[in-house]
Structure 1
Amino acid sequence: MKTIPTLFDWAGGQEALEKLTRVFYERVADDELIGPVFAHMSPEHSRHVAHFIGEVFGGPTLYTQADGGSHASMVAHHIGKNLTEPQRKRWMQLLLDSADAIGLADDPEFRSALVGYLEWGSRLAVLNSAETENPISNHEPMPRWGWGETKGPYQP
Structure 2
Amino acid sequence: MTFYDEIGGADTIRTIVARFYEGVAGDELLRPMYPEEDLGPAEERFFLFLCQYWGGPTTYSETRGHPRLRMRHSPFPVTPDAADHWLHHFRAGLDAADLTPEQDQRFWEYVTHAAQFMVNTPV
Q: Quote the Cα distance in structure 2 between the aligned partners of 1:75 and 1:55.
A: 17
TM-score, normalised to structure 1's length? 0.68
Between the two proteins, what is the percent identity of the paired residues? 24
CA root-mean-square deviation: 1.9
2:55 maps to which residue? 58
Q: Does 1:49 align with 2:43?
A: no
Q: CA deviation at 1:89?
A: 1.0
1:116 maps to which residue? 109
TM-score, normalised to structure 2's length? 0.84
Pick the structure with more helix per residue: 2
Alignment length (residue pairs): 120
Which runs of 4 or more aligned residues in structure 1 lie more than 3 Å from their structure 2 counterparts after TM superposition?
none
1:94 maps to which residue? 89
5+ residue gaps, structure 2: none
2:4 maps to which residue? 8
Deviations 1:31-76 (A, max 9, x none): 12222222536532111111111111111111111x223122x332
CA contact under 8 A between 1:18 and 1:46: conserved in structure 2? no
Deviations 1:5-26 (A, max 9, x none): 3221122111221232122112
Deviations 1:79-132 (A, max 9, x none): 13121111101111111112212x331x22111210111012111111xx35xx
